[in-house]
Amino acid sequence: MEATGLGTNNLIRIKTNKDHSMDMEDLRCQMERVAQGGGIPVYIVATTGTTDAIAIDDVKGVRETAETIAEKYDLKVPHIHADSALGGFFAFFNEYDVSENPLQFSDGILRMLKEIKAKFQHLSLLQTRCALIFKSLAKHLTHPVYS
């Protein structure tokens, strides 16, 4: 939080669901409380995969909640930062059967998982692994869908 320059004294914690994802109703309530008190919600951190709880927030729901509150109080939509520990997150897909696709990922996600999986099979040095993961991800993150 300090890296944003906002200060931890301005941090508002949001309740989580049993799966450790953000509670959308509590997010709405906390944003309402801030706006009603004359404050301006400016930054929301969502989680798209952690190494500890494997939490994945409903980023679309976060965005919709932020837009609703912003419109209601005539504010700008807060910046939404979707954070992830991607290296650790993708480790859970080492044994994932991309041909069966039991989790029904989209074609784009499957392609990315296949690329990362193929690179992991031939690498032994952690630094090389990280460099290739980030290089592979960079291609997808600059895709118009993510811009």
Q: Does pLDDT of 53 surpass 50? A: yes
68 and 30 fall within a common domain: yes
97 and 140 fall within a common domain: yes
Query: Tell me, what's the pLDDT at 7?
Result: 76
Q: Does pLDDT of 126 surpass 60? A: no
In 10 A of CB 108, how many CB atoms? Answer: 12
* Structural domain for 133, as ranges: 87-146
Contacts with 32 (C-beta within 8 Å, 6 or more apart), sequence order: 69
Contacts with 55 (C-beta within 8 Å, 6 or more apart), sequence order: 16, 19, 20, 21, 47, 49
40 and 92 fall within a common domain: no
Calpha distance 67→78 (Å, rounded): 8
Q: Does pLDDT of 55 surpass 80? A: no
Query: Tell me, what's the pLDDT at 64?
Result: 94
How many structural domains does the chain have? 2
Instruction: Note whether 103 and 90 are within 8 A (CB).
Output: no
Residue 3 binned pLDDT confidence (cut-offs 50, 70, 90)? low
Q: Which residue has the higher pLDDT, 93 or 23?
A: 23
Q: Does pLDDT of 136 surpass 70? A: no
Query: Tell me, what's the pLDDT at 146?
Result: 40
Task: Determine the average pLDDT of the residues in 5-25.
Answer: 87
15 and 40 fall within a common domain: yes
Q: pTM above 0.75?
A: no
Across the chain, mean pLDDT equals 76
9 and 77 fall within a common domain: yes
Q: Does pLDDT of 56 surpass 60? A: yes
